[in-house]
Structure 1
């Protein structure tokens, strides 16, 4: 399948779990589609990029290690994604990566997620926390930043400051997640 054919196929992706999963499995079964999928995803002003993001998120949810050869591309471009429907899956993938990296179970992500990759994830997550994003990207970012803060000691104070500053102006979903993360930060720092 060519990039143009994949682009056309993405027109059939919708919010349904089955469509996203179908195309995620298609890409997993044909790894050569991953590069064109990312090219479409990171054409950030094209509305189809959102559909590519949905497929990529589901693909990472099914097999996170498939991202390994493309970590540079992902981390170098993740901050450029700005359309709302594409930002949420990007934040979710960052959470997948940090959870795998800092988790107890063995993962190839631990060997392949470099210092540079983590720095770019930190930058993207802080941008999502500070910018006017919906609750989901902020929630995923909080979790990613909390985990990254177990390695980088400057992150927890910055994250706590943002959470406390924005607390009153945010939704109940944000407040619930923020309370949970702030409690974990206080526990780690005491």
Structure 2
């Protein structure tokens, strides 16, 4: 039996307008947020990637809603296999890490275990065969984390230098930008 949210997700199309419409519905009904998070990582729901699209849009507006769900969210990052799910979740990970290190009262508070999940999954997405967008988000996320974990920048630089020639122009642009920052760091 499908829930009302699942029925709405069934009709979501990849176009921005369609995704925004359902995201707006969740923003207007915060009680749907827990279910949305659950659907994102549910292998039982064949279109869980659509929930990930919506989560990304909701996170731009209400990232703090993730705070009570961070243990579940971070510990389940590795279960995502669908490219269409990985891209928006990689962006959400980047948003979470940025918010955590802003050191503002309104920022997200990631536990050490949450951070380790983000590091491990970001490296996995970077070195495995996924499209360029999640790799770009992962590179930027790992660069930021490397400002606080001294082992990350050297590892990231090795991977970026090794893989540089084998990737697209978009990957090369992000890699070049981050390698320059690492050299200055």
TM-score normalised by structure 1 residue count:
0.91
Task: Provide the residue aligned with 2:147 in structure 1.
Answer: 150
Task: Map Cα deviations across residues 46-89 of structure 1 (whole Å, 9 max, x no partner).
Answer: 43101000000100012211111111111011111110100000
* 1:86 is aligned to 2:85: yes
Equivalent runs, 1:4-153 vs 2, <5 Å: 4-44=3-43, 46-103=45-102, 106=104, 108-110=106-108, 112-153=109-150
Q: For structure 2, list consecutive stretches of 5 or more residues without a partner in the other structure.
A: none
Counterpart CA distance in 2 for 1:3 and 1:181 is 44
Q: How many residues align?
A: 185
Alpha carbon RMSD of aligned pairs, Å? 1.6
Q: Is residue 3–residue 37 contact of structure 1 (8 Å, CA) maintained in 2?
A: no
Counterpart CA distance in 2 for 1:63 and 1:52 is 15
TM-score normalised by structure 2 residue count:
0.94
Counterpart CA distance in 2 for 1:147 and 1:159 is 11
Task: Provide the residue aligned with 1:185 in structure 2.
Answer: 182
Q: Secondary structure at the match of 1:123?
A: helix
Q: For structure 1, list consecutive stretches of 5 or more residues without a partner in the other structure.
A: none
Q: Is residue 91–residue 141 contact of structure 1 (8 Å, CA) maintained in 2?
A: yes
Q: Secondary structure at the match of 1:109?
A: coil
Which shows bigger deviation, 20-29 or 139-148? Answer: 20-29
